Structure 1
Amino acid sequence: MSEVHLHIEGGIAEIRLDNPAKMNALDVGMIRRLAEHCASIEADGSVRAAVLTSEGDRAFCTGADIKAWGEIPPLDFARGWVREGHRVFDRLARLSLPTVAALQGPAFGGGLELASTCDIRVMAPGAKIALPEAGVGIVPGWSGTQRLLRLLPEPVVKEMALFGRRLDAERCVSLGFAAEIADDPRARAFEIARGLATLSPRAVEVAKWMIHAAVGEDRDAMIEALGAGMVGASDDRAEGVAAFREKRKPVFPGT
């Protein structure tokens, strides 16, 4: 039975795909569970970093389970399957804490799009990435032609989406998509996460927001969040709230 597990220990959250019989392909239930786990992580103030892993050693994730979407009517496919997947993947990409993906095997289609939501990726020597959707008569639907273009050059994305080329781990590192290659990517991902957990959580969070604003990842919300955080720490905010509660005119100190 397919599942997505969440385990939190020592300030590190592990989100683990568990559908090894289908090479960790994603179905509706797994997508919903990802959303639930993102909410749990955000609500848990003890978490400093998250690691995205998957069960078994055959694949990280080979995309969306064809049986899960193959019979969905076109309009429902666009409205539900594609948009819901986007919503959940965006939620993962926009977690306020740093995320690391451990790719012990192929990340194809939706699996590649899922890995692309993380801040850092570690790949096994034999891992590959691809966008094979054209081979089954569809197109990338969970940001393979959008977010992925912020991580890889346009010609490279075209190689995968138009010509079906697969990129090996060495090329992924040379292009900057993966941070490094490790024989045990899960162990290395946790090592990176534990290092992240020693840093200032607020500084890391704000730095991630600033970078996301620069590259266009939820830019409007990131800019307003940064501004709100700065003003929220001011004496002016405290005076404004106090004046509202006391039903008087505020006298802002400008600090």
Structure 2
Amino acid sequence: MFIFDVVPLTFIPLSQPQLLSYFSPKEAQKGGVVEISLGKRKSLAVIIHCEPVSKRKAAIKQADFSLKPVAKILTPTPIFAPISFQLANFLSHYYFIPLSFSLKTVLPKNLLTLINFLNPPLTDNLELIKSNQSTLENSKLPPRGLNFPTLINLIKKSNKTNAQILILTPTIFHQEYYYHKLKTEVSEMNLVNFSPSWPKKQYCQLYQNLISPKENYLVLGPKSAIFLPWTNLDLVVLMDSNNPVYATTQKLPHYNTLTVSKILANYFHAQLAYFQNY
């Protein structure tokens, strides 16, 4: 018998515990996904810690409540990139939002489809937390006002094996414009014109390609692309970085993409650049 400490992928107020405990007859790893009972409803949850019941016997006996069983183990091994947990943790602390909500924001929306697509999971024994956690304090100010030839030069200088490059755009107009300009300049990379409205299968295929990289990828997309499962990022570029669209204020959680991009770049020791010329 095992105890799972999990974070539900639903909104739980900050005043309530963000980490809940359940028991299961089967073992699972950190980052696995389970279905739990939360009040009168079901919710997906991510395993943060798993250990045998024998290690918590004393605490269980003294508790004035009884643990509930996990309803279902959907995947016993992690299918998320470590950066996803780093970003969720950063959003929670920096913007003072519940970890349950920040984790739901960062992780893929169609989890059940993704779990079925990645069967068996690709990231067995993946470490979820790196020791060199990124902070804003050690971030450098990125270069601003790059012109297009300089941008192409930055892309072609990427020397990582199976490198990943992210270019964020504030609008669909920007994205389509730069996609067609880049198509003729970076033929040596897999250029992806990402959209959150992609069909589920197309999204899952990109997810698989990024979390288990075997080729160079350049992904062009809106600000939500910052939460894709990056594993080998070498360059992050924000087009028209002064555009107010990068500050998410219309819906929760509120965050600034420029701030999050610094955490993302620091985590991978990737170069960060702001592009402001048309």
TM-score calculated relative to the size of structure 2: 0.24
Higher RCO structure, 1 or 2 (CA under 8 Å, sep 6+): 2
Which protein is richer in helix relative to its size? 1
